[in-house]
Chain A
Amino acid sequence: MADKNYIISLQGVTKSFGNNTVVDDFNLDITKGEFVTFLGPSGCGKTTTLRMIAGFETPTSGQILLNGEDITRIPPHKRPINTVFQRYALFPHLDVYDNVAFGLKLKKIPYEVTNKKGETVTKYRHYTREEIDEKVMRALKIIDLEDLENRDISTLSGGQQQRVAIARAIVNEPEILLLDEPLGALDLKMRKEMQLELKDMHKKIGITFIYVTHDQEEALTMSDTIVVMKDGVIQQVGNPIDIYNEPVNAFVANFIGESNIYNATMVGKLKVKFLNHVFDCVDDFPLNEKVDVVVRPEDVEMTVIKGKSDDSRLKGKIVTKIFKGIHYEYVLIMGKSEIVTQSTKDYELDSEVYIDVEPANIQIMKRSSTENVYPEAWIDKNNKLIIADGEFDVDITQLLKGSHVDDDLYLIGADGKKYDLDDADVIASIDFTDVQIVDGHDKGNVNGTVVETIYKGDHYAVLVRTAEEEDYILATDDTWNEGDLVSVIVEPSKIRLTLKGDLNKYEVQ
């Protein structure tokens, strides 16, 4: 059934807590010896996925196969998988040696003996003291802490505790090592060192590592394969270079590295228009398709304009200049839009430059949606539109040309027919530009929280999520921060409705 080459396969794994789906239809195959990173913002389901692999959670549906065998319902202590926990979870009442030896002392190893009848039978025994000693010492050597075996856990620094946690896991010779944001508690310098060390250790031990982090730089540095997740759904799987250079959507592009993201339109064969300028590109999309475009700051070439400027080229003015050590970071404006660039060259502030981008460096992505669509909306008895926990005033006369609403809230057609739209199911759609948000709760149609903002050169795309997990995407010039509590407002005339089913069934006789 499953390919034996894969050490672990997740097949259609879904996890819900009540109504809240945290991991949605997760499919992934991991080959032996790979360093795989689950990357995503907090709450994207990466840790839950890891916990299902470890056995702390049971998937709501789907299967987890280890070497082709179903381990979905096997408890954690029977899986050949070990975990390095976020805050290490070292046992405070044991010293370094006993922490590392914890798993070994519990393990039972099979051995074969020939009994009186001459048959070979498998019996189980514990490791001997010497075997444990040897293994613990070897593990402590790998993590460079040989001399600290008798130290109390509370006397170790964060970095040392981190190493002990790793030793405690690898000493059991697991087939897979799971690491749950293991460097989160360390300071920046220590973190960088440990990244390289972990990578090194992975090479040395040769087992499969599955690593969870929200730090894109960590993921790029260490992984063979990165799995980018958002809202419990895999966005993209690929090696670091592909993920960086060819993000599949604006979310991935924004999450990995720094990027300029723009709304663009295909204006010809391999021609894309953004920043009011037509660029050559290498991605083939249908004519007039609305797309998202990503340009990495280091891919923007700048040339100082000398003499009379060439109006056919894209020009910008440097408004910010920050020295970043190896390079400078510039912000350029052109009209209403801006672009972030990086260069090792030193340009004067306020200088006018030409802007060029190599066609291969323009990454064009299919836009997931161009408007907010709510297929589960309905009309209540007051002719208000209900979208999950939101209640909107809406113009229902658009459902029938020439109609009006009478005093009893019936929809009256031009032909005098009377319709009662109470409880009518509709599909509502709202353009990104027609959604407005204001600060604070209870000031609009529905309360929500800003969960994502992407800068698109001249405006922000802001994703607002309500308590009932309904999303509103809006385009705005204002800056909002993730976590802001807001109220969503939509003008009645801006909501487009499509009735599900025929209008006639709502006719009142």
Chain B
Amino acid sequence: MVKKIFGQCYIWLILILMYLPVLVLIAFSFTEATNVGEWTGFSFNLFPRLFQSAEIMTALANTVIIAISSSLVATILGSLGAVGAYYSKKRMRNAIDLATQIPVVNAEIVVAFSLTVMFVFIGNIINTYMFSFWTLLIGHVCLSIPFVYTSVKPKLQQMDPSLYEAALDLGASPSQALGKVVVPEIMPGVLSGFLLSITLSLDDFIVTAFTRGSGLLSGDKKIETLSTLVQAKIKKGPIPPEMRALTTVLFVIVILAVIGVTIYRNQQAKKIRVRRAF
């Protein structure tokens, strides 16, 4: 009993400490003061200001476009890689597995720096400025591709290897067997790989800062994502008031997502329980 109370207190204490900065920011998103810690009266004004800020909205849109496009590329390449590796000879498979571990443990700064140095190197050779949306996309794919591979791989290992043969046996051509049987089997892994890629891309600063060029909604200027924009702002001073409102919005979205996932999981669990009852 003592252990239970102590344990729960501990969990909630840490949880509060972890959320404290964000919660404070959220609290101060309802006042227009420049600095956190000064309360100048309750106000919703920061929210319209947030949505009117072209700078922030452009950055948000850029961030979302990059996250989705890079995750799609990473998911396709990573899933194909996992499937191909699974059907390769053992030595090849082990080599690919090991290679996949390198970017997982590699420091983001090294990934960013080495890619950038390479782009500069190639740019010098062909006499062009390489940096654009495409270099940024490659950078983000580098970040997430190994995680797609590692989430698809266990699904393949859990799959009954004779499923593919069964499909062939029933008249499916090798590509039909792959599409109708193997792909649905690994789909959960592919999806979680995609979500993971989105998360990594949304959160990234270093690779973005290094590999970005001009393009997307930023036009001729360097592509600004949420991370780079916030970084540029807070280097000079406190978090701009509109961004406090942004934090509130993001927080609400995250909480809704957590609630959604929980409800979905509970329903899945219930479904399984009902089935077992048969």
Contacts and interface: CB of A to CB of B under 8 A. Distances in A.
Do any beta carbons of A and B sit within 8 angstroms of each other in the complex?
Answer: yes
A85 B172 contact: no
B163 A172 contact: no
B275 A102 contact: no
Given A77-B173, A93-B185, A172-B171, A83 B275 contact: no
A76 B185 contact: no
B176 interface: yes
B170 A56 contact: no
A77 B172 contact: yes
Nearest to B276: A155
B160 interface: yes
B274 to A, nearest CB: 9
A106 B88 CA distance: 27
Contacts, number: 67
Interface string B55-72: 000000000000000000
B162 A89 contact: yes
B170 A86 contact: no
A155 B278 contact: yes
Nearest to A83: B169
A402 B167 CA distance: 71
B111 interface: no
B154 interface: no
Given A154-B275, A155-B275, A89 B168 contact: no
B7 interface: no
Given A87-B160, A91-B163, A106-B176, A76 B275 contact: no
A82 interface: yes
Contact of B168 (A75, A152, A154, A172): A75
Contacts of B184: 91, 93
Contacts of A102: 167, 170, 172, 180
Contacts of B278: 155
Given A93-B185, A154-B275, A83 B166 contact: yes
Interface string B148-192: 000000000000101101111111111011001100110100000
A198 B167 CA distance: 23
A214 interface: no
A92 B170 contact: no
Contact of B162 (A82, A86, A93): A86
Contacts of B172: 77, 102, 106
Nearest to A80: B171
B77 to A, nearest CB: 23
Nearest to B166: A89
Contact of B170 (A87, A152, A155, A168): A168
Interface string A81-119: 111011101111100000000110011000000000000
A190 to B, nearest CB: 18
Contacts of A75: 168, 174
Interface string A49-66: 000001110000000000
Contact of A152 (B166, B171, B180, B275): B275
Most buried by A among B160, B166, B173, B278: B166
A103 B181 contact: no
A153 to B, nearest CB: 11
Given A107-B171, A172-B170, A76 B176 contact: no
Most buried by A among B169, B174, B181: B169
Contacts of A85: 162, 165-166
A155 B165 CA distance: 23
A185 to B, nearest CB: 12
A92 B177 CA distance: 14
A358 B275 CA distance: 60
A107 B177 CA distance: 13
A82 B170 CA distance: 6
22 contacts: A54-B169, A55-B168, A56-B169, A75-B174, A76-B169, A77-B170, A82-B169, A83-B165, A83-B169, A87-B160, A87-B162, A89-B165, A91-B163, A91-B167, A91-B184, A93-B184, A93-B187, A106-B170, A107-B171, A154-B275, A155-B275, A169-B169
Interface of A: 54-56, 75-77, 81-83, 85-87, 89-93, 102-103, 106-107, 152, 154-155, 168-169, 172
Closest 5 CB pairs of A and B: A103-B170, A89-B166, A89-B162, A93-B184, A76-B168
